[in-house]
Amino acid sequence: GDFVRTLVAEVRDATFASIEDVVAFVTWLDEELSFLVDEQAVLKHFDWPEKRADALRDAAARYQGLLQLEKQISSFVDDRALHRDAALGKMYSLFEKYVFLSHGWVT
């Protein structure tokens, strides 16, 4: 019980200076929660800040998705051998991913 109450306090009291801090916190939190045999069964017996924990996980996932997409976009090479429609399709696909991730629709 003390272990979970400590995690509850950590989630509630956590403040972050950057999104990288959120990613590090979520990684740490998930590692700590992995010690529980059945996370949901245990946490339901405590005043677990589920919405805050989920929001932190969501923010971390979106940020990591944007970083991955940034790598894809920055390494994109316009292959002149591709037919115009195929090249535009690749470009549009990257654009759609960017729009979805930046507006919160993680795919």
**pTM assigned to the model:** 0.73
Q: Report residue 80's pLDDT band, with 50, 70 and 90 as the boundaries.
A: confident
Domain spans, the chain:
2-102
Average pLDDT, the chain: 87
What single letter denotes the amino acid at residue 42?
Answer: V
Cα 22 to Cα 15: distance, rounded to the nearest angstrom: 9
Instruction: Return the minimum-mean-pLDDT range out of 16-20, 34-38, 94-98.
Output: 94-98
Q: CB under 8 Å to 41, separation ≥6 — which residues?
A: none
- HSE-CB for 61 with a 13 A CA cutoff: 11
The pLDDT, as a whole number, for residue 104 is 62
- Residues 21-32 pLDDT 10s: 999 999 999 999
pLDDT exceeds 50 at position 107:
no
> Residue 103: how many CB atoms within 10 A of its CB?
9
